[in-house]
Chain A
């Protein structure tokens, strides 16, 4: 069975600090990978996704993530966070062949202080 592990449940940063949120997955096959974000009081929305090709993917609002196949990782990064990045971040994985469903990590709550 596939699983997703997010390393930190809560992260607190000051504005302008750099961000890296860890995500590791377990799956016996080729995967598609996603980061979703949920701002306070809002719905889950897609931040970025990896299907194939360049393992460094860029998403909205200056976020990027790097897929490292050998480490089964898909860490999310941003060089300089803003107060408006305060949100919960979910990593998710789905197999890209056969029947597979989207499996989420437990999420990381990011609090950015001004």
Chain B
């Protein structure tokens, strides 16, 4: 089945040690998103790629970066994780942007623990 895949499902990193989370999609969608979801909170958009164009949300910390080397893959890099970055990170895709007309498909998420 076509889907959004995230690896790993669980990631433990040390305070200040860079970490990379991975997302891949078989849907051939133009747009890929990264969301952060903390416990009992709503998913919060960090940034998205429309094809190769990167769009950062205004309140996303500089500590978070992203790369999209090709249509299928997108990475979330946390340069110096702090304890406050412990969360579930969700990757999503949509066929196009067009002001929300296209449904977003979500991956299972990566739960990040910072020790």
Contact = CB atoms under 8 A, between A and B. Distances in A.
- A and B are partners in one complex rather than unrelated chains: yes
A11 B19 CA distance: 36
How would you classify the secondary structure of chain B's contact residues: helix, strand, loop or mixed?
A: loop
Contact of A104 (B40, B42, B103): B42
Interface stretch (A12-20, A43-51, A76-84): A43-51
B99 A44 contact: no
Contact of B100 (A95, A104, A107): A95
How would you classify the secondary structure of chain A's contact residues: helix, strand, loop or mixed?
A: loop
Given A43-B108, A44-B90, A106 B42 contact: yes
Contact of B99 (A4, A97, A105): A97
Contact of A101 (B45, B107, B108): B45
B55 to A, nearest CB: 9
Interface residues of A, number: 27
A28 interface: no
